[in-house]
Structure 1
Amino acid sequence: MSHFLETDRLVLRAFTTADIDHLLALDNDPEVMRFINGGSPTSREAIETRTLPRLLHDYPCWRTRGYWAAQEKSTGTFLGWFEFRPLEEDSPAVVELGYRLNQAAWGHGYATEGSQALVHKGFTDLEVERVTANTMAVNTRSRRVVEKSGLSFIRNRTGDWPEQIEGSEHGEVEYELSRTEWERSRQTSAA
């Protein structure tokens, strides 16, 4: 199995069809899915026909994926996944950062560790110019992770959402980090 990235505690690897049961469990935890679809269950068919193909997609600009399974390095335990995908198929300039981790992984700093490592890899190895992230305005845990990863709040957006879920009336928030801002923050912290 190819590893895309390793941190002190995480391995991010390519998804395989063997991950279907992991994804089914993850997407059927109402708390994990609370800010995604209001906690509604996901069928095995949806995982097989919609979710897994999206996670297995290779982006031509990188000749690799934009989603990776996250495992605990010491045990190999499946924790969830990270997204760091180009918004345009043929250009690595702008990517979206995201993650979905199981409840057992919450509160241990895995989301921040993986996100920071992806941002670093994006700006040092993948020709990324801007990282974006979006979450519901009421998802304070996810907002903290994004901020700890160096992204800054840009705007709040409201609109008609396909599914009304608790908190959607407050809209979504958008964050971003440019290569210039990232380089500046590294210089400041090194000084």
Structure 2
Amino acid sequence: MTFLIATERLTLRPIIESDLDHLLGLDSDPDVMRFIGGGPPPTRDYLRKHALPRFIRRHPATDRPGYWAVCEPESGKFFGWMEFRPIVDTSGEVVELGYRLTRSAWGKGYATECARVLIRKGFNDWGVQTVIATTMAVNHGSRRVMEKSGLTLVRTTFDEWPDYIEGAESGDVHYELTRSQWQMRQQA
């Protein structure tokens, strides 16, 4: 089965093995990783052995990718990825929304545009019942994407992480959108 999703300005496609260098570039940019990890950037070998299999995996409950490459339609230029992945292997009803885009794609509304398309497809076509997302409380850009995509803040937690990230003392925020909430908003 071929998976390709078009947004107004972009194409979402499954991540493939040849995206490895794109993923390495993304994860090697300290600005991109600012709110994600405090440690050193991953090596190419680490990404190939550990991250890439997760990115290209089709989930057992859905047979769909959980990660999508965000690309410019004509040139195929890689802007990053979107996560719309079931949180457990036995059901596709609860998915996690996530995203990581290159700095050149920031501030253009790409993450929100892609998130909205995935959410619509998830609720309309894929049987998704709940979309969840998390970020650091101080990550205002990511929070804005979640809110513009229709998710609502449900709680803040304070977890300990192995590597300190500036702003961690403000906690992590958890957002959620249910299918029934989304449907009510569509009718309004």
RMSD: 1.3
In structure 2, stretches of 5+ residues that fail to align are: none
Whether the 8 Å contact between 2:159 and 2:171 is mirrored in structure 1 is yes
Q: How many residues align?
A: 188
Q: State the identity as a percent.
A: 51
Determine whether 1:150 maps to 2:138: no
CA distance in 2, matches of 1:74, 1:58: 26
What secondary structure does 2:22 align onto? helix
Q: Aligned to 1:119, what secondary structure does the other structure show?
A: helix
User: Does 2:110 correspond to 1:102?
Assistant: no
Aligned-pair distance for 1:51?
A: 1.1
Read off the aligned partner of 1:181 and give its amino acid letter: Q
Q: Which runs of 5+ in 1 are unaligned?
A: none
SS at match of 1:82: strand
Cα distance in structure 1, aligned partners of 2:41 and 2:180 = 41
Q: Which amino acid is the alignment partner of residue 22 of structure 1?
A: H
Distance apart, 1:46 and its partner CA: 1.3
CA displacement at 1:159 relative to structure 2: 1.7
Find the counterpart in structure 2 of residue 124 from structure 1. Answer: 124
Deviations 1:90-137 (A, max 9, x none): 211100000000000000110000000011000001100000000000
Measure how far apart 1:39 and its partner are: 6.7
CA contact (8 A) 1:94 1:131 kept: yes
Q: Summarize deviations over 1:21-78 as a string: whole Å, max 9, x none.
A: 1111110000000111137322111110111011011111111210011101233110
1:70 aligns with 70
Residue 79 of structure 1 aligns with which residue? 79
Report the Cα distance in structure 2 between the residues aligned to 1:20 and 1:4, rounded to whole angstroms: 19
Match of 1:18 in 2: 18
Shift of 1:10: 1.1
Do 2:66 and 2:84's aligned partners in 1 also have CA atoms closer than 8 Å? yes
Q: C-alpha separation between the residues in 2 aligned to 1:64 and 1:94?
A: 14
Deviation at 1:3, TM superposition (A): 3.7
How far the C-alpha of 1:162 sits from its partner, in A, is 2.1
Would you say the 8 A contact 2:39–2:163 is kept in 1? no
What is the correspondence of 1:28-43 to structure 2 with a 5 Å cutoff? 28-38=28-38, 40-43=40-43
Partner residue, 1:58: 58
Task: Compute the TM-score of the two structures, normalised by the length of structure 2.
Answer: 0.96
